[in-house]
Structure formats: structure tokens, C-alpha cells
Amino acid sequence: MLVVLVSTAIKAQTPSDKIVGVWLNEDKTTKIEIFKTGNTYSGKIVWLAQPDDANGKPRLDKNNPDPDKRNQKILGLTIISELKYSNNKWSGGIFYGPKRGQYANCSINLKSGQLLITVSKGILSETKIWTKS
């Protein structure tokens, strides 16, 4: 039993897994759970300050470029995928922004316990800071 606990503790402390957990976005309106699947990291929305629209119904992904996905709920939606860890950085990911219905490249740096998420499309880029929830 002790070996399992020590092994689990060591595994939990690997540098690549330091982003795993629930993070609060910069606007404090959304919590995103970062999780690992195989060798990549993804993130899904697990909490919204306003989960329902003006009619009291769950917010939907109405701006998705794929019409077949416009009825999926925002809560539970995967917005980060394909991130890979290398040289103290997570990169090569895809970020989906449901507000605009746009996909972009993304990378993450961890600095002072905060996630610095850089989203870029073409020559434009923006960095947001998420805090551990």
C-alpha cells in the first residue's frame, strides 16, 4: 500500500501535470478543468457564472461554425485540446472560443502558480491569465 501511495505522489508531482486541475478564467466567469489523456492535455468548461441564457435555458454553442454542433451545451464543452508538454511549456494546442465560434492555436506557460494562456490566429495573439480554482 505504501508503495502505491509513494508512486502516486511522485506521479502527481511531474512537471508536465502541474496544469492539471480546475482553473478560473481572467473574467471570473468560467471554470475550466485541465486534464490529461494519453500524452496530451485538454480543457473543458465545468462551471459558468451564468449557465443559463435570458430565457432560463442552458447556454448553447450557437456560434459554432459547424451547424450540427450549435445545440451542444457550453457547460461541459471542450475548449482546449491537443496540448503537448515540452521544455517547461505546453504547446501545439487548439483553443475553441464559443463566444465567437472560432478556433485558434494555443500554448500555456505556468508562472507563479498561474496559467498564461496564449491564443493565436494568424498574426494576432492574446495572452490571458487563469488562476487555480
Query: If DSSP codes are grouped into helix, strand and coil, which group holds residue 82?
Result: strand
114 sits in which H/E element:
strand 114-121
pLDDT at 14: 86
pTM of the predicted structure, to 2 decimals: 0.88
CA dist., res. 52 & res. 115, Å (int): 27
CA dist., res. 104 & res. 118, Å (int): 10
- pLDDT greater than 80 at residue 12: no
What does the angle CA 102 – CA 104 – CA 86 come to, to the nearest 5 degrees? 155
Domains delineated in the chain: 2-132 (2.40.128.520)
CA dist., res. 18 & res. 101, Å (int): 29
CA dist., res. 131 & res. 15, Å (int): 17
Question: What is the chain's mean pLDDT, rounded?
Answer: 91
- pLDDT greater than 70 at residue 13: no
CA dist., res. 118 & res. 11, Å (int): 27
| Residues 33-42: tens digit of each pLDDT | 999 999 999 9
